[in-house]
């Protein structure tokens, strides 16, 4: 009774247990299964009893399960554990953990095996999920540890992709930057089964639907590219790249698509939820880091631009001050030079005897005056106070005329060689600007040859073919070339790439403005030309200025010589000029030509004299800038009295700015001028009246 009572107890324990308990015979057949077995696996008792247990085990797991069974039967061990998969009635697998022990029959019958199994399927799934979460957190942790705020975007991407490749060893991870609806693949790491794709372009213009998905911030998940009908032309790209399965996460910042992060497999696959989560989380982080890095770069750019523009402003202010000073000095010089040159000419006219010693001396004075006038003109060109016009010019003539000036500029240690092509074509340019180009290049060459050297200036014709022209940024065609070569220190590539930037200079502070080559560049560009530079450190520098060749003859310069015949005249000229030397010179010149002159030192005096004069005035010659009323204002007053009066303004270059639209019709004579030019100008102005 006690036994029976006890057996009922045990039976109750077994039948109410959640563990699956089974009894197997020596052949491994089910002799008994507890209700838990049928409950968990879904089979009816009859489907199990008498059947071999291992028939239900996954083939793969037999190698570990069967030896344990045999070990129990043979008595090698009395207790064994195993983890394996067993087929459920519904076709799924149940992962079980089993403990088996041998049950000997004391009566000498065949032994049996008791197997106590527990369904660990859910626990295994939870463990796997935990493992994946753990791996994902480790990945994010690694990324956030390596990616520092403000790191350049490329470095951020590189770090993130490196970590991703470790996390997803079986896939390729890649990053593409968004560029006007296209994606340019910038980084790719991972499985060698896929071809290299860096630099490749995905044009979602072909597949707007996909671009739409990405722009909305949704992920694109492709399990089998060959069977995905959303892809359109993109499918072709994926086939080319041997990608069957793809996950594409848009990287967005500030509502904008910055790029994509992708996970690709050469084989079709169903992407697991945890893989999608991981990619999404890393993508969000990457987008944030890229946006932060861009913001940082933008801040740096703004700061540096601000600092540069402050420097430029200081430079420009300095330059303007220097320019104003140079212009002012040149203005006064021009007054003096007009007198020096003018009186020299008057004297020369009085001394016709060529062998006269005094005449030779006066000639020296005049020539010195001419040279001084030329220097003043260069100075004004340099301070950019000239408004000049393009005309057909002969480069050879320009270079020839600058010979003296250049020799003075470059000093005695530099040997100047000028080699002009005899058949050189013409070009259309502003001669003053071209002179400035030559001067700036010569100055740079001189500074590059601190210990002296050789400066070669050559001219030649050139025909630029398409490839040469495009390398120079010019259009193909015929050019005339001005070549300036030195054998000085030369430049490295880095310097060469910046020489035409305004305010870039390799010279010591205060030694160069950094505008020399920038001005050259501007002038050449304005003249529709191009510049070629060859240079290397220690090997000297060669600049080649290409100017478009034109087939027009050079217009002869306006004759300076006395062209008009001496005519007796009776016109009255009102002169207003505060500089007495100029006034005196004009009197000397014009009185000899028979004009009647009314002289004044300023506008007010001129108006007084005019008021006191009964006859009519034919011509007003006035300085532009005077104390009190200026030239244009005086001209307006005179015109009120006598509307048909001719007006001739005299000016140093610096005064030109005063002459505006309101100045009325007028002629203009630049200082310094020669008596002959003055006479000719006056004659031209008064002649129409005389004819009429």
Partner 1 sequence: VIGSSLLSGRRVLLVEDDPILQRAGEASLRQRGLTIITASDGAEGLKKARDEAPDLVLLDLLMPLMPGVELLRALKADAATAGIPVLVLSNSSRDDDKREALALGAAGYLVKANISLKELGDHVERLLTGP
Closest CA to 500 of 536, 532, 529, 457: 532
Identify which range of 50-58, 437-445, 469-477, 495-503 contacts partner 1 by CB under 8 A: 50-58
Q: Is the peptide bond before 193 cis (omega within 30 degrees of 0)?
A: no
Under rule CB under 8 A, residue 506 binds partner 1: no
Identify which range of 38-46, 52-60, 549-557, 625-633 contacts partner 1 by CB under 8 A: 52-60
Under rule CB under 8 A, residue 62 binds partner 1: yes
Sign of CA dihedral 518, 523, 526, 528: negative
CB of 80 to partner 1, least distance (A): 15
Q: Could you give phi then psi for residue 638, rounded to 5 degrees?
A: -65, -40
Contact 263, 223 (CB under 8 A): no
Closest CA to 191 of 262, 265, 276, 245: 265
Burial class (CB in 10 A: 0-12, 13-18, 19+), 350: exposed
Compare residues 89 and 136 and give the one whose CB is closer to partner 1: 89
Identify which range of 55-63, 323-331, 398-406, 667-675 contacts partner 1 by CB under 8 A: 55-63
Compare residues 52 and 142 and give the one whose CB is closer to partner 1: 52
Identify which range of 48-56, 255-263, 380-388, 606-614 contacts partner 1 by CB under 8 A: 48-56
Under rule CB under 8 A, residue 52 binds partner 1: yes
CB of 26 to partner 1, least distance (A): 13
* CA–CA distance, 184 with 174 (Å, rounded to integer): 11
List, in sequence order, every residue forming a beta bridge with 481; answer none if it has no partner: 460, 546
Compare residues 94 and 530 and give the one whose CB is closer to partner 1: 94
Residues 6+ apart with CB under 8 A from 498: 504
Q: What is the dihedral of CA 480, 482, 487, 492, to 10 degrees?
A: -80
Identify which range of 8-16, 49-57, 308-316, 397-405 contacts partner 1 by CB under 8 A: 49-57
Compare residues 268 and 562 and give the one whose CB is closer to partner 1: 268
Compare residues 43 and 546 and give the one whose CB is closer to partner 1: 43
Taking CB under 8 A as the criterion, the residue among 6, 13, 15, 67 binding partner 1 is 67
State which H helix or E strand residue 156 sits in: helix 153-167
Identify which range of 53-61, 118-126, 427-435, 565-573 contacts partner 1 by CB under 8 A: 53-61
Under rule CB under 8 A, residue 56 binds partner 1: yes
3-state secondary structure of 65: helix
Q: Could you give phi then psi for residue 530, rounded to 5 degrees?
A: -145, 160
Under rule CB under 8 A, residue 452 binds partner 1: no
Under rule CB under 8 A, residue 17 binds partner 1: no
Q: From residue 395 to residue 434, what is the string marking binding to partner 1 with x (rule CB under 8 A)?
A: ----------------------------------------
* CA–CA distance, 382 with 386 (Å, rounded to integer): 9
Under rule CB under 8 A, residue 66 binds partner 1: yes
State which H helix or E strand residue 13 sits in: helix 2-15
CB of 1 to partner 1, least distance (A): 41
Compare residues 6 and 64 and give the one whose CB is closer to partner 1: 64
Residue 502 CB neighbours (<10 A): 16
Under rule CB under 8 A, residue 4 binds partner 1: no
CB of 193 to partner 1, least distance (A): 11
Identify which range of 63-71, 444-452, 590-598, 634-642 contacts partner 1 by CB under 8 A: 63-71
Contact 682, 356 (CB under 8 A): no
Residues 6+ apart with CB under 8 A from 251: 257, 258, 259, 260, 261, 283, 286, 287, 290
Under rule CB under 8 A, residue 63 binds partner 1: yes
Taking CB under 8 A as the criterion, the residue among 268, 452, 502, 522 binding partner 1 is 268
Residue 265, by phi and psi: left (phi above 0), alpha (psi -120 to 50) or beta? beta
CB of 92 to partner 1, least distance (A): 11
List, in sequence order, every residue forming a beta bridge with 456; answer none if it has no partner: 417, 485
Under rule CB under 8 A, residue 42 binds partner 1: no
Taking CB under 8 A as the criterion, the residue among 17, 25, 49, 87 binding partner 1 is 87
CB of 133 to partner 1, least distance (A): 25
Compare residues 87 and 528 and give the one whose CB is closer to partner 1: 87
Side-chain-facing half-sphere of 223: CA atoms under 13 Å = 6
Closest CA to 167 of 289, 284, 277: 277
Sheet containing strand 572-576, strands side by side: 596-600, 572-576, 619-623, 646-651, 667-670
CB of 88 to partner 1, least distance (A): 10
Under rule CB under 8 A, residue 124 binds partner 1: no
Under rule CB under 8 A, residue 57 binds partner 1: yes
Under rule CB under 8 A, residue 49 binds partner 1: no
Taking CB under 8 A as the criterion, the residue among 7, 15, 45, 55 binding partner 1 is 55
Compare residues 156 and 225 and give the one whose CB is closer to partner 1: 225
Note the residues at the interface with partner 1 (CB under 8 A): 51-52, 54-60, 62-63, 66-67, 86-87, 267-268
């Amino acid at each position: 009774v006690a036994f029976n009572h006890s057996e009922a107890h045990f039976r109750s324990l077994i039948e109410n247990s959640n563990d699956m308990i089974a009894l197997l015979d020596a052949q491994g057949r089910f002799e008994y299964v507890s209700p838990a077995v049928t409950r968990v696996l879904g089979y009816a008792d009859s489907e199990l009893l008498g059947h071999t247990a291992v028939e239900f085990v996954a083939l793969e797991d037999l190698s570990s399960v069967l030896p344990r069974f045999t070990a129990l039967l043979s008595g090698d061990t009395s207790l064994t554990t195993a983890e394996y998969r067993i087929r459920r009635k519904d076709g799924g697998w149940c992962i079980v953990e089993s403990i088996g022990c041998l049950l000997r029959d004391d009566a000498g019958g065949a032994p049996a095996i008791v197997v106590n199994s527990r369904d660990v399927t859910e626990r295994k799934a939870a463990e796997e999920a935990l493992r994946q979460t753990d791996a994902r957190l480790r990945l994010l942790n690694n990324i956030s540890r390596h990616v520092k705020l403000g790191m350049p975007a490329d470095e951020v991407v590189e770090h993130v992709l490196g970590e991703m490749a470790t996390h997803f060893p079986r896939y390729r991870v890649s990053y593409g930057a968004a560029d006007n609806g296209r994606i340019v693949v910038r980084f790719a790491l991972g499985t060698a089964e896929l071809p290299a794709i860096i630099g490749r372009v995905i044009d979602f213009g072909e597949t707007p639907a996909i671009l739409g998905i990405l722009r909305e911030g949704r992920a694109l998940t492709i399990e089998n590219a060959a069977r995905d009908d959303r892809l359109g032309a993109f499918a072709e790209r994926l086939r080319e790249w041997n990608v069957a399965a793809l996950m594409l996460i848009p990287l967005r910042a500030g509502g904008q698509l910055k790029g994509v992060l992708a996970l690709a497999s050469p084989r079709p696959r169903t992407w697991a939820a945890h893989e999608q989560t991981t990619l999404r989380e890393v993508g969000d982080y990457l987008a944030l880091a890229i946006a932060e890095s861009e913001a940082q770069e933008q801040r740096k750019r703004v700061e540096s631009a601000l600092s540069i523009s402050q420097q430029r402003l200081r430079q420009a202010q300095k330059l303007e001050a220097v320019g104003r000073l140079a212009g002012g000095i040149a203005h006064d010089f021009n007054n003096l030079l007009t007198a020096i040159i003018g009186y020299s000419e008057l004297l020369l006219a009085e001394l016709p005897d060529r062998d006269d010693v005094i005449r030779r001396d006066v000639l020296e004075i005049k020539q010195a005056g001419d040279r001084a006038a030329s220097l003043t003109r260069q100075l004004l060109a340099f301070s950019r106070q000239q408004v000049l016009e393009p005309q057909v010019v002969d480069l050879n003539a320009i270079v020839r005329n600058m010979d003296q000036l250049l020799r003075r500029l470059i000093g005695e240690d530099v040997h100047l060689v000028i080699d002009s092509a005899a058949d050189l074509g013409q070009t259309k340019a502003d001669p003053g600007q071209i002179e400035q180009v030559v001067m700036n290049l010569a100055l740079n060459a001189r500074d590059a040859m601190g210990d002296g050297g050789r400066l070669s200036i050559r001219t030649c014709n050139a025909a630029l073919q398409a490839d040469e022209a495009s390398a120079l940024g010019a259009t193909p065609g015929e050019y005339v070339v001005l070549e300036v070569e030195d054998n000085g220190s030369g430049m490295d590539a880095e310097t060469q790439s910046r020489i035409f930037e305004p305010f870039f200079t390799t010279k010591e502070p205060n030694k160069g403005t950094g505008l020399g080559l920038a001005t050259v560049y501007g002038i050449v560009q304005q003249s529709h030309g191009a510049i070629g530079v060859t240079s290397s450190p220690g090997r000297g520098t060669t600049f080649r200025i290409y100017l478009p060749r034109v087939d027009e003859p050079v217009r002869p310069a306006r004759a300076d010589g006395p062209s008009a015949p001496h005519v007796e005249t009776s016109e009255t000229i009102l002169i207003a000029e505060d500089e007495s030397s100029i006034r005196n010179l004009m009197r000397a010149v014009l009185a000899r030509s028979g004009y009647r002159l009314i002289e004044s030192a300023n506008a007010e005096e001129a108006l007084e004299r005019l008021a006191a004069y009964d006859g009519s005035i034919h011509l007003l010659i006035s300085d532009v800038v005077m104390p009190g009323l200026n030239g244009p204002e005086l001209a307006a007053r005179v015109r009120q009295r006598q509307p048909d009066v001719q007006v001739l303004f005299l000016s140093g270059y610096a005064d030109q700015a005063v002459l505006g639209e309101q100045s009325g019709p007028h002629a203009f004579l630049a200082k310094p001028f020669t008596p002959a030019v003055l006479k000719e100008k006056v004659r031209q102005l008064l002649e129409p009246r005389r004819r009429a």
